[in-house]
Amino acid sequence: MKPANGSNRRQDKQQNIPLAYSFTSIISSVERLLNYSFRNRTLLQEALTHRSSSSSCSYQRLEFFGDAVLGLAFSKYFFLTDPDLPPGSLTDLRAANISTEKLARVAVRHDLYSLLRRDNTPDLDKLVSKFTEEVMREPKELGGHPYGGSTMKAPKVLADIVEAIAAAVYMDCNFDLEKLWKVIRVILEPIVTVETLDQQPVTMLNELCQKHKKKAVFNKYRNGKLNIVKVVVDEQVLGIGSSEQKKIAKLNAARAALQRLETEELALLTGGKVSVAGPELGEQKVWKDRLNVLCRKMGFPNPVYEIEDEQGPDHAKKFMCSVSIGTIAAMGDRKSKVKDAQNSAAFTMFFVQSVQ
């Protein structure tokens, strides 16, 4: 969603002068998005004003109120729509739908940060831009993911905007919770439900391993500013994750391991042969070159390959390699030659990490 009269908005930010017409157009854009007309537009103006702005009161009080309001709205929705849900499930569903990660993706999807009035915030702008780029590279199935999926932590400012808008609507409609839900649900889709709730990946992995009397070990190390986490089960590396944030790196590593185990659970956890579904080796040989070409074309950093694991005697050694591009990492299948293991990692980067 792009507000009208973008040139005036840019002038507003650069000169730190609130131009009435430009902000009126922004308010109109939000009203069209919500299909709701504010009786008191000052509330929405406040909801879209960062604390760095000197033009008027910021969204901080509304954001505080909106956090509680959204929690109540989701609690009521799930309580009424499924009378059989136990308290624990109600808590999980509410937390998943109002998490910073989930609401930040709502803000990205509707380009809400571009509507925020703020003064001289280059660091914040850069952070939001970087997160937005990460989200756009995520697999589609993680679009409403409550536990992230990008390699960086969601900037809180994005979730704050959604919460502040929710509070503004709630106050404007005279604290009518049912009316608020009808209005705000439009932008909150997809709603995380019982059917789509993705349990915390680390918990899922640990429970799966315990079922087979195994233990998942998370090995952590740093590469510059980047945190790298490898999931190891019975001395086999099952997944690798990376992020500037330790927690997100661990989540991504667990998620990568779960993706690998999804089709190989019995073989991997009962000592069978490890094999990742994918093209035959002859078809994989091209992927390292293709990844190099893609990185040059898109202006990405050069791929960096590392040998993550090697097993077997010298005459029959097998290697497992990872590849990283900036803050994104992927790991390939075990191969008898290092170059083949690198090609396998490059293939995984293309089709699992979705960097194209």
- The pLDDT, as a whole number, for residue 309 is 81
What does the pLDDT look like over 307-351, one tens digit per residue? 888 888 887 888 888 888 876 777 777 888 888 888 888 877 765
Report if pTM > 0.75: no
Number of H helices and E strands in the chain, helices first, is 15, 6
Whether 6 has a pLDDT exceeding 80, the answer reads no
Q: Look at strands 226-233 and 328-331 and give their pairing.
A: unpaired
What does the pLDDT look like over 128-157, one tens digit per residue? 998 998 888 765 555 455 555 566 778 999
Tokens standing for residue 300 = 């990405």
* pLDDT band of 279, cuts 50, 70, 90: very low
- The pLDDT, as a whole number, for residue 21 is 44
- The pLDDT, as a whole number, for residue 355 is 35
3-state secondary structure of 89: helix
* pLDDT band of 354, cuts 50, 70, 90: very low
- Return the residue matching tokens 């499924």: 82
| CA angle centred on 48, ends 47 and 52, rounded to 5° | 105
- Return the residue matching tokens 């590279």: 137
- The pLDDT, as a whole number, for residue 276 is 37
- The pLDDT, as a whole number, for residue 75 is 96
What does the pLDDT look like over 166-201, one tens digit per residue? 999 999 999 999 999 999 999 998 888 887 775 567
- Return the residue matching tokens 């349990």: 199
Contact in structure between 3 and 114 (CB atoms under 8 Å):
yes
Most confident of 76-85, 224-233, 240-249, 321-330: 76-85
Contact in structure between 274 and 236 (CB atoms under 8 Å):
yes
- The pLDDT, as a whole number, for residue 38 is 96
What does the pLDDT look like over 192-231, one tens digit per residue? 888 777 556 787 888 888 888 888 999 888 877 778 888 8
Average pLDDT over residues 109-132: 92
Report the distance separating Cα 177 and Cα 296, nearest Å: 51
Tokens standing for residue 210 = 């315990």
Whether 22 has a pLDDT exceeding 50, the answer reads yes
Contact in structure between 352 and 323 (CB atoms under 8 Å):
no
- Return the residue matching tokens 């499930």: 89
Q: 240: which strand partners?
A: 230
Higher-pLDDT residue of 23, 250: 250
What does the pLDDT look like over 280-306, one tens digit per residue? 334 445 678 878 877 877 777 888 898
**How many Cβ atoms sit within 10 Å of the Cβ of residue 156?**
13
* pLDDT band of 253, cuts 50, 70, 90: confident
Whether 239 has a pLDDT exceeding 70, the answer reads yes
> Percent helix, strand, coil in the chain (nearest 5)?
55, 15, 35
Average pLDDT over residues 259-266: 61
- The pLDDT, as a whole number, for residue 79 is 95
Higher-pLDDT residue of 314, 60: 60
